[in-house]
Amino acid sequence: MDKRFQAITVRTVFVVAILMHLRVPVAADGVKVSTFSIVAVDPQTGECGAAVASKYPAVGKVVPYVQADVGAFCTQHYHVPAWGPMALEQLAMGKPVEVIIAELLRQDRHPGQRQLSIIDMQGNTAVHHPTDAVKGSQYWGAMTGRFYACQGNTLAGSEVITQMAKAYERAEGSFTDRLVAALLAGDRAGGDHRGRLAAGVRVAKKGEAGVWFQLDVDESDDAVNELVENYLKSKHAVRGTWLPEPDKR
């Protein structure tokens, strides 16, 4: 082998290995986080939160981002974790949600591979879809309502989104109860069509430092149901009166 070619090959492999170790996205062929999620706020209680489920392990640690008195943000389908703090920082500066999404994507080489969702404390929402996603990442979509947005990709069907929205609007209980109810409804509607490996919830509240409540199932055969079971056992103040209905599937 030509020594010059061999040196270039070794150097390329070394760089790629470093990027993989650091989990830095390599354009659109980086880590694909196919998932369904909800971002929401409750202006009356000063709470904001996000809940997520996916076939991707430890998804709660890389998709949802929340900040008290600011709002919530999710990055999924070839996610860019660095955008989480950036989006919340811009939201705290008072930038409109649609402007934040546009600025994040302006220098992105593959905007059609990202799915993003953001909400401020007034309930303004913006969602961006992975319009260039391959067939295996379909179905993707979103639904917004009063103080929330549900979105997902690589889904079993549109029912995942509509059932999440219905559950969030109809569930009786606390703000976090409703987030968990929405996640469970999406899972029961088919969720991520590849499987149910991980789930997570994040909630922030005005007057409480950092993330007020977080709960994760990083790897499981039935992550959402395990998350619900753990949530129902929680003694945290986020818990309300909600109890899941029997699964009729």
Give pLDDT, residue 164.
98
**Is 64:52 a contact under the CB 8 Å cutoff?**
yes
**At 136, is the pLDDT very low, low, confident or very high (cuts 50, 70, 90)?**
confident
Q: By mean pLDDT, which of 21-25, 110-114, 220-224 is the weakest? A: 21-25
Q: Give the 3-state secondary structure of the chain.
A: CCHHHHHHHHHHHHHHHHHHHHCCCCHHHCCCCCEEEEEEEECCCCEEEEEEEECCCCHHHCCEEEECCCEEEEEECCCCCCHHHHHHHHHHCCCCHHHHHHHHHHCCCCHHHCEEEEEECCCCEEEECCCCCCHHHCCCEEEEECCEEEEECCECCCHHHHHHHHHHHHCCCCHHHHHHHHHHHHHHCCCECCCCCEEEEEEEECCCCCCCEEEEECCCCCHHHHHHHHHHHCCCCCCCCCCCCCCCC
Topology adopted by domain 31-233: Glutamine Phosphoribosylpyrophosphate, subunit 1, domain 1 (3.60.20)
Cα 28 from chain centroid (whole Å): 18
199-239: per-residue pLDDT in tens? Answer: 999 999 999 999 999 999 999 999 999 999 999 999 999 99
Q: Among 28-32, 85-89, 127-131, 232-236, where is mean pLDDT lowest?
A: 28-32
Give the global pTM.
0.86
Q: Residue 103's pLDDT band (boundaries 50, 70, 90)?
A: very high
CA dihedral 119, 56, 60, 101 (to 10 degrees): -20
What digits encode the pLDDT tens for the residues 184-203? 999 999 987 777 899 999 99
Whole-number pLDDT of residue 22: 32
Q: Which residue has the higher pLDDT, 137 or 238?
A: 238
pLDDT at 32: 61
| Tens-place pLDDT, residues 71-80 | 999 999 999 9
Q: What is the pLDDT of residue 84?
A: 97
How confident is the model at residue 114, as a pLDDT?
A: 96
What does the pLDDT read at residue 31? Answer: 61
Average pLDDT, the chain: 88
Round to whole Å and give the CA distance between 53 and 118.
Answer: 17
